[in-house]
Structure 1
Amino acid sequence: MSLETLVSPPIAAASPYSPTEFDAYVINSYARFPIVLERGAGCRVWDSEGRDYLDFVAGIATCTLGHAHPAMVNAVNRQIQKLHHVSNLFYIPEQGDLAKWLVEHSCADRVFFCNSGAEANEGAIKLARKYAHTVRGIANPIVLTAHASFHGRTLATITATGQPKYQKNFDPLMPGFHYVPYNDIAALEAAIAQLDADQPQVAAIMLEALQGEGGVRPGDRAYFQRIREICDEKGILLILDEVQVGMGRSGQLWGYENLGIEPDIFTSAKGLGGGIPIGAMLCKSFCDIFQPGDHASTFGGNPFACGVALTVCETLERDNLLQNVQERGEQLREGLRAIAQQYPALVAEVRGWGLINGLVLKEETATVSADIVKAAIAQGLLLVPAGPKVVRFVPPLIVTAAEIEQALGRLNQSLSNLSL
């Protein structure tokens, strides 16, 4: 099937939905843009007034196959008519099939399923702590994470997140975390030496292969390879948060493949279900030490989520979408670099992997990423900030060359309309 055939024409607009009514009932924990999205197809969405947008947000790197992909539609219909939820007290064939696919396509040996990236990271933290206590005899284990990281919104994962803005007013935070600069091996080695000076305390190092919310910062290959050596030398577990960058978004199936290393534990969510909520914590067999009762999830790994996620995985492989990610990603970066040259006072650099890319604004400019996002919306292009000075581009992995060019044109028009 051609990627272009996934995009159907807009249908007649429904009666406009009132954001005022929405705000009267929904807790205001999001700063929402004033558009009401009602329908999607491929890499496009339509609002309640019938206007179409190129979707380069994709549910924040989640809609792997875009919107209303035929394979997903068929999988949803098939599974909901068969069996959608049973307890993990019973064997679930769809869960086993998905776990098998993930293990056969990664360095992992075992998989635990949950509902989100935060839950997957919680599972990884719990597994690392149990390993530290029972295998290494560490009484008060510490997990090293990076400044500017993002690992979730639960109490443990916002503590793991090295950004104070997410932690404000939620203290007391969870103990057992220590932060180091990202891509700075000297700082990491110094932290380990200090923390382990009297007795071993560092149980795990938890990092993103590419920092997404922290500004689309790719991991340095030499940095991660040295970390792998340190972990092997000291018995420290290496955890990689692949929630945003995994499932093909980096141009490889997993972000760690860009770094030439293998983690002991890694996590997945977002793109795994293509928009259906599912998360996974994957590990190697030597640290697979959970026993019945140690960890659980009511909805995690149910037949519906796993059946759809397996379809996403198989479609990613069957349609060779990794090649599309690599080619369209390079096209997008080339286009963004050309735009950067037109606005040298505004843009500092372009960085990223595959189809997760950032347009980095100069610190001295008064323009912030939200300004550009708002201007792009006016031109029919949906983008998302990655901090105040980075605009993030994370379209569906099915995006076409024509759609990349159209998005670049709309971005260029957006910047020309700003008072720069």
Structure 2
Amino acid sequence: MTTTDTTEQVRARIEEHADELAALGPANESLGRLDDQAAKVLRDSGVMRLLQPKEHGGLEAHPRDFAETVLRLAALDGSTGWVAGIVGVHPWELAMADPRVQEEVWGEDQDTWVASPYAPMGVLTPTDDGWTLRGRWQFSSGTDHCDWIFLGAMLGDANGQVAQPPTMMHVILPRADYTIIPDSWDVVGLRGTGSKDIVVDGAFIPSYRALEYTKVAEGIAADEAGLTETGYHVPFSCVFPLGITSAVIGICEGALAHHAQWQASRTTVSGAASKDDPYALFALSEAAADIAASRAALLDNVTRMYDAVAAGHRPTFAERAAGRRTQVQAAWRAVRALDEVVARSGGNAMRMDNPIQRFWRDAHTGLAHAIHVPGPTFHAAGLTDLGLEPPVGPLRSMI
């Protein structure tokens, strides 16, 4: 990839390797992480640079372009799309960090990948010019192919206890400062994402390698970093879930394609051809429409948010909550539609050599991500719909 590449060229490189990425799906699952060749194709394609700042070799692409690329990758293989959606978001936030840490990450290699998770499972104990960090985190997708990591942590006191009032931070660590726990990712779906546990035991975090979560969520971090590109001012609660939900919907699109191919030549135990079954065709068409609606809703949502920001508007809590509701519902609608066609694919679709079952397992595992839990988001959005005061506490989480 060159620094003058376009999103169209990124997608063209993915299409050149589409058959290869699809064929590597079983290998990813067997390894419990992305096959090295799958990771190489992603790296060479430039997908992880779509949201990266131009001064570090990125494209500063429209988040819609990022989402459409993840959708395509996930339709080829769920784990590949998921890793692209998760790891591909991190350059967007790193653009808001201190220039010193950006240089540390990208100074020698602009294709360096950064893992996560953001869940605040560690505590920062203050020390001179920074903190020491201890904790254990789950779900670090794509971590085997990453050399740095974002971790969520709570500010602590001198005794290592969470300080009051609680303050959540995103901290950035090099690979030498954390341990990836082998064999900590044994799951039913998205096995190829290698979303393993991470342990940090007393690593020093200089203050310039930290971002206050509230500032990121409220758009203050982008302001303070002097970023002018519109995409960096789209709310975190829109951009971060975008990669995850794009992967889930893309997985459903991939499953639908495999189902259609399977049905075209399938004969049931009664001897009837599926292509002659009006009920099977109805289910296929209904699912296709619902999955397409999910795609459209997700892409329209991020485009509207981007356009509002470009016009100088900072989205309100109510607007962010409505956007999250749209994103969550899009994922659920797509997976429910997938269930309808999988249930009509026949028993042979559940054989381990049939990709339908793998896509089905991947979709349900992706739907189980915390970002897709509807209750708190729908509750918060409902309150704002009634014109009531925005909620406090956990109901505000990731909005």
TM over 0.5, shorter chain? no
More helix by share: 2
TM (normalized to structure 1)?
A: 0.27
Higher relative contact order (CA 8 A, sep 6+): 1
Q: TM-score scaled by structure 2? A: 0.28
